[in-house]
Amino acid sequence: MPDKSTILIADDDIVARMALEMLLEPDGYELIFATDGPEALEKAEKLLPDLILLDVIMPTMQGFEVCRRLRANPTLADLPIVMITGFSNRETRLQGIEAGADDVISKPYDQVELRARVRTITRLNRYRRLLDSAEKLNRLANYDALTNLPNRNLLIERITQQINHSQHNNQVFALFYIELRGLKQINETLGRIEGDTVLKQISQRLGHCCDAGETLARVVGNEFAVLTQMSNVLTEQNLADRAQQWLDVISMPLFCSQHEIILHANVGISLYSNDGKTAEELFKHADTAKSRAKLQKRHGYQFFTVQMNDTALKHLVLQSQLRRAIENDELVLYFQPLLELNQDHCTISGVEVLVRWQHPDRGLLCPNEFIQVAEQSGLIIPLGEWVLRHACQQGILWQQQGFNLRISVNVSSLQFKQTNWLKIVKSILEETGFDPTFLELEITESLFLQDDKYILEILGDLRKLGIRLAIDDFGTGYSSLGYLRRFRLDTLKIDQSFIRDLFIEPYNAELVQGIVTLAHNLHLETVAEGVETCEQKDFLIKIGCNIGQGFLFYQPRPASVIENLLKNNLLS
């Protein structure tokens, strides 16, 4: 806003204009002039003055008409208008007031009085404008422009207010954190405008399910939150029903550019004061619960639990430590021998590479403590590359000593999703000089849930290089076995759970026998994992399983130990 008040003086009479100029200029106003009605309207619209002094009698358009038009224009309707007239009769005054003028002054006017009125009106108007812009700023700071819903700021403020009230009367309340799924695809396929329309529709639906006194907020992008009213009792069942209600209204079909769309959502719930004493804490915990709901896929909603927070925090710490571990070479490779199963003597034919983390504070960590975090954070990609490179380096060292071992490396499905995965494998092979026909990659059934064509291509390219492919943990994941026919694989590793319960679970022995037969029909080599007893080994030999791996033979060990083993194995 300019620091001077602006006054538009509309009068066709130059003498009248000059008189007003001389009177008002010394008071520091910015004066603008118009000589007829249309010019007055144009300038008023353009310059939004703080006051219009309007002559009644003007050519082309009378002052009354100008006044009426100003009032009819929504952006100008609030402008203060004072009409100045040569007539002093009551009728003209009334006409002016009816046309919408705030005041009608008759000529000749009392100069002191006019100055005083002008000052009062312009001041009031500036004050009103200040309030308006403060209101606008407030809206910007506290409301979401697209949906008009309170934003995160205002939500946090309202939660804090409720916490203050609740402390006095021991009441409780809940915070629902709602995340829409599928919006990204809508934005990508139908465009952002349609995405925005969907958001508005969803926010209206959610709004219809809110009671008065509840706050529905748009937190960010595709995330909403509902703050419930305070209450003396909140039962878990009520809250679960409520969460289900959000999920149900969201998943009702939507129509958007003639497409029927169904969105889904996840809901996290946190309760005051069980799950947090501050607004930020409640908010963060509802968010954590929401992320958990997304992971678990069982219900669409989850209540916050302390364990979640612990896990989330631990994961976060672990993730940053793991990132450094990869850079600082804190990872170590262990190797577990694979033995050709034979009645008289089992010889080592290969090793499976199993990563360990020499953690600076916690000692040697097994993969179950960090592989999941590596997968969730994407760190599995540099980790996997590190493992492959070091495994090949070790392999070539052994080869140079005369041990031609097959090296089996675990590869996460995420590594296959990288577009340059094949290039990485090739460059590691070139760099280390390791013979690809001695390399086996262990992949899991989850890989086959992805796009067939792409997987077919990349698996084909790997096999062309001479690399062997093994299907790991067979029998635990994907139910359809069609992929075994569609993809050319070399080895099938029967999951250790089948071997562990071989003689415990009824039918397991038959099942394992069936798997071995099936694999052999498909010309796949079979490996039994987790062989711990002689009884298991004997059974596996009897049914023709080719290779065994397990604590009965050897535990995973560092390279130096394996080297000694190999020497003895050769000698024996």
Could you give the angle at the alpha carbon of 67 between the alpha carbons of 65 and 73, nearest 5°?
105
CB 514 within 8 A of CB 484: no
| Site for ligand C2E contains 526 (CB under 6 A) | no
If the CB atoms of residues 88 and 450 are measured against ligand C2E, the closer one turns out to be: 450
The residues, ordered by sequence, that sit 6+ positions from 45 with a Cβ below 8 Å of its Cβ are 73, 75, 76
Task: From the list ligand C2E, Ca ion, none, pick the one residue 492 interacts with, judged by a Cβ distance below 5 to 8 Å according to partner type.
Answer: none
If the CB atoms of residues 180 and 531 are measured against ligand C2E, the closer one turns out to be: 531
Task: From the list ligand C2E, Ca ion, none, pick the one residue 366 interacts with, judged by a Cβ distance below 5 to 8 Å according to partner type.
Answer: ligand C2E
- The mark string for 291-330 relative to ligand C2E (x by CB under 6 A, - otherwise) is ----------------------------------------
Among 220, 316, 366, 481, binds ligand C2E (CB under 6 A): 366
In this structure, what are the phi and psi dihedrals at residue 503, rounded to the nearest 5 degrees?
A: -110, 10
Segment contacting ligand C2E by CB under 6 A, of 2-10, 252-260, 339-347, 405-413: 405-413
**CB neighbour burial string for 388-417, b if at least 16 within 10 angstroms, e if fewer:** bbbbbbbbbebbeeebebbbbbbbbbbbbe
Written as one letter, the residue type at 87 is F
Question: Per CB under 5 A, which of residues 429..468 are in contact with Ca ion?
Answer: 442
Task: From the list Ca ion, ligand C2E, none, pick the one residue 551 interacts with, judged by a Cβ distance below 5 to 8 Å according to partner type.
Answer: ligand C2E
CB 222 within 8 A of CB 171: no
Written as one letter, the residue type at 281 is E
Residue 484 CB, shortest distance to ligand C2E, in Å, is: 19
Task: From the list ligand C2E, Ca ion, none, pick the one residue 530 interacts with, judged by a Cβ distance below 5 to 8 Å according to partner type.
Answer: ligand C2E
Among 174, 543, 550, 559, binds ligand C2E (CB under 6 A): 550
| Site for ligand C2E contains 530 (CB under 6 A) | yes
Task: From the list Ca ion, ligand C2E, none, pick the one residue 550 interacts with, judged by a Cβ distance below 5 to 8 Å according to partner type.
Answer: ligand C2E
If the CB atoms of residues 216 and 392 are measured against ligand C2E, the closer one turns out to be: 392
Residue 167 CB, shortest distance to ligand C2E, in Å, is: 48
Segment contacting ligand C2E by CB under 6 A, of 69-77, 136-144, 166-174, 548-556: 548-556
| Site for Ca ion contains 287 (CB under 5 A) | no
The strand pair at 406-410 and 439-444 is best described as: parallel
| Site for Ca ion contains 472 (CB under 5 A) | yes
What DSSP assignment string belongs to 155-198? Answer: HHHHHHHHHHHHHHHT-BEEEEEEEEESHHHHHHHH-HHHHHHH
Two structure tokens written together for 332: 């170590």
Residue 345 CB, shortest distance to ligand C2E, in Å, is: 19
SS3 22: helix
CB 267 within 8 A of CB 177: yes
Q: Measured between alpha carbons, how far is residue 383 from residues 353, 378, 380, 388 in Å?
A: 13, 9, 5, 9
Residue 400 CB, shortest distance to ligand C2E, in Å, is: 23
- N-to-C CA span, the chain: 94
If the CB atoms of residues 368 and 400 are measured against ligand C2E, the closer one turns out to be: 368
Q: Token pair 């997987």 is at which residue?
A: 455
| Site for ligand C2E contains 525 (CB under 6 A) | no
The strand pair at 103-106 and 81-85 is best described as: parallel
CB 563 within 8 A of CB 401: yes
Two structure tokens written together for 242: 């409520």
Two structure tokens written together for 493: 């590793």
Among 35, 147, 410, 536, binds Ca ion (CB under 5 A): 410
| Site for Ca ion contains 473 (CB under 5 A) | yes
If the CB atoms of residues 37 and 475 are measured against Ca ion, the closer one turns out to be: 475
Distance CA 300, CA 351 (A): 43
Distance CA 555, CA 544 (A): 23
CB 226 within 8 A of CB 176: yes
Q: How many residues bind ligand C2E (CB under 6 A)?
A: 25
Among 86, 551, 558, 570, binds ligand C2E (CB under 6 A): 551
Kindly report the number of other CB atoms within 10 A of residue 537's CB atom: 22
Distance CA 491, CA 548 (A): 12
Torsion of CA 144, 146, 147, 151, to 10 degrees: -10
Among 170, 368, 400, 479, binds ligand C2E (CB under 6 A): 368
| Site for ligand C2E contains 534 (CB under 6 A) | no
- The mark string for 370-389 relative to ligand C2E (x by CB under 6 A, - otherwise) is -x--------x---x--x--
Residue 520 CB, shortest distance to ligand C2E, in Å, is: 22
Residue 413 CB, shortest distance to ligand C2E, in Å, is: 9
Among 355, 467, 502, 509, binds ligand C2E (CB under 6 A): 355
Two structure tokens written together for 363: 């000692």
Question: Per CB under 5 A, which of residues 505..534 are in contact with Ca ion?
Answer: 529
If the CB atoms of residues 509 and 531 are measured against ligand C2E, the closer one turns out to be: 531
If the CB atoms of residues 102 and 472 are measured against Ca ion, the closer one turns out to be: 472
Distance CA 140, CA 149 (A): 11
Task: From the list Ca ion, ligand C2E, none, pick the one residue 156 interacts with, judged by a Cβ distance below 5 to 8 Å according to partner type.
Answer: none
Question: Per CB under 6 A, which of residues 450..479 are in contact with ligand C2E?
Answer: 472-473
Strand partners, 224: 178, 218
If the CB atoms of residues 69 and 356 are measured against ligand C2E, the closer one turns out to be: 356
- Residues near ligand C2E (CB under 6 A) are 336, 354-355, 366-368, 371, 380, 384, 387, 410-412, 442, 472-473, 496, 529-532, 549-551, 556
